[in-house]
Amino acid sequence: MAVIITDLCINCAACIDECPVEAIVDEDENPTGGETYYVYADKCVECVGYHDTPACAEACPTEGCIQWGEVVDGMPSSDNRKAAGTPVVD
Ligand code: SF4
Ligand code: SF4
Is the minimum distance from the CB of 65 to ligand 1 under 6 angstroms? no
Assessment of whether the complete model's pTM goes beyond 0.75:
yes
pLDDT given at position 58: 97
Ligand 2: which of 3, 4, 5, 88 to mutate, most ligand atoms within 8 Å of CB?
A: 5
State the total domains in the chain: 1
Range of the domain at 62: 1-90
Is the minimum distance from the CB of 44 to ligand 1 under 6 angstroms? yes
Using the atom order of ligand 1, give the atom closest to the CA of residue 57: 6
DSSP 27-87: GGG-TT--SS-EE-TTT--TTTTT-SS-HHHHH--SSS-EEE----TTS---TT---TTSB
Specify the CATH number for the domain of residue 22: 3.30.70.20
**pLDDT truncated to tens, each residue of the chain (90 aa)?**
599 999 999 999 999 999 999 999 999 999 999 999 999 999 999 999 999 999 999 999 999 999 999 878 898 989 889 999 999 998
Q: Amino acid identity, residue 4?
A: I
Nearest CA to ligand 2 atom 8: 9
